[in-house]
Amino acid sequence: MGYRNKTYVIFDGDKDMWAYAYMKGWKQSEHIDFDFYDAHDLKPLTPRAEDEQYIKARLRERFQNTIQTIVLIGENTKNLFRFVRWEIETAQSLRVPVIAVNLNGKRQIDSDRCPAILRDYTAVHVSFNARIIQRAMDSFSNEYKSLPAGSPRHYSDEVYRTLEGTCIR
């Protein structure tokens, strides 16, 4: 297995691609302190991408280099089972820390939008902004190892206030 330093991003490819594009844009901007090694840059999909087994095999390979997972939670995320739920289950079975990012701005678990499989899972739930996501990527992987199983986490309002002076949306 290669060095595990990548971030695997899970999202609704039809409705929430904009949020993933923002993250990639933040990474490219020299004015925003945001960086991650995207697992999706590994092993690009070929024209065989219409074959579900092929896609899942490629995604599974990407997980082998993953240190953490970000789930972008939009309006329909909880209803997506074919790939999104499978990806979340794969992250959980590999014990990869999960950062749940609410695209509606909520700073803690959003029971109306959060996929059921994450509701009682040890994940940190944050709002969609560069500073808090970066904070979670920098620290949650280490915290995750010592947390009790089955309890969603979130950062306090104080942590957000500390970061707000430079919070980017």
On the question of pLDDT at 53 being above 90, the answer is no
- What is the CA 141 to chain-centroid distance, rounded? 12
| pLDDT on residue 43 | 66
Q: Nearest Cα to 68, choosing from 9, 151, 154, 152? A: 9
Amino acid at 75: E
In tens, the pLDDT along 55-113 reads 888 888 888 889 999 999 999 999 998 899 999 999 999 999 999 999 999 999 999 99
Q: Please report which confidence band the pLDDT of residue 169 belongs to, taking 50, 70 and 90 as the band edges.
A: very low
In tens, the pLDDT along 2-51 reads 456 899 999 999 999 999 999 999 998 888 888 888 887 766 666 666 77
| pLDDT on residue 150 | 85
CA distance 115 to 163: 27
CA distance 15 to 38: 20
| pLDDT on residue 48 | 60
Helix and strand numbers, DSSP H then E, in the chain: 6, 5
How is residue 152 written in tokens?
């969603």
- Residues 73 and 114 sit within 8 Å (Cβ to Cβ): yes
Beta strands in the chain (DSSP E): 6-10, 66-73, 98-102, 123-127, 153-154
- What is the CA 127 to chain-centroid distance, rounded? 12
